[in-house]
Amino acid sequence: MTTVGEENVTGATIWLTGLPSAGKTTIAYELADRLRAAGRRVEVLDGDEIREFLSAGLGFSREDRHTNVQRIGFVAELLASNGVHVLVPVIAPYADSREAVRKRHQREGTPYVEVHVATPVEVCSVRDVKGLYARQAAGEISGLTGVDDPYEEPETPDLRIESQNQTVQESAAAVHALLTERGLL
């Protein structure tokens, strides 16, 4: 928690996990716009941008994916502990990696919310925002999370969103409502 003038400003990490093309990033940017409009300090740590700038050189082995998630978790906690609402739309396929990030936040006393964007692989493969599912089906790539590489769904996320059943605005509103309920806004 930081102090701005006389006002205490609490940040938080909002981690959106789910399959490729589940809607994580779209929901994160919609929520970011909403929070900024309310005067909140917000950063989006987009998984693709992190891979390009912070985790360049890492592959997609289990170990490299874990390292990537831990790097993102470190930056997210650092920002959140300084009054920023950090939205993290990252696949983070392994439960132990996500749990390590949650524990880092708990140790530091920094609020952490896990949102599972639980869009079925059949819907994600139709959306196929980056063409990954088509490339995997054509044999051009392997190791696609949820298809031929594991995705360990969160057992007890703070919020589960089925993005195929609601609009982006409704999904962002659900996260906003949870943050409000928890006193994080």
- Phi then psi for 20, rounded to 5 degrees? -60, 135
- Is 26 annotated for ligand binding? no
| Structure tokens belonging to residue 159 | 């919020």
- Is 5 annotated for ligand binding? no
Q: How many residues does the chain have?
A: 185
Give the C-alpha separation, 40 to 179, whole Å.
12
- Is 20 annotated for ligand binding? yes
Tokens 């998630």: give the residue. 69
β-pair type (159-161, 42-44): unpaired
- Is 21 annotated for ligand binding? yes
How many CB atoms neighbour CB 42 within 10 A?
Answer: 20
- Is 19 annotated for ligand binding? yes
**What's the alpha-carbon Rg for the chain, to the nearest Å?**
16
Give the C-alpha separation, 37 to 102, whole Å.
28
- Is 23 annotated for ligand binding? yes
Residues contributing to the annotated binding site for ATP: 18-25
Residues contributing to the annotated binding site: 18-25
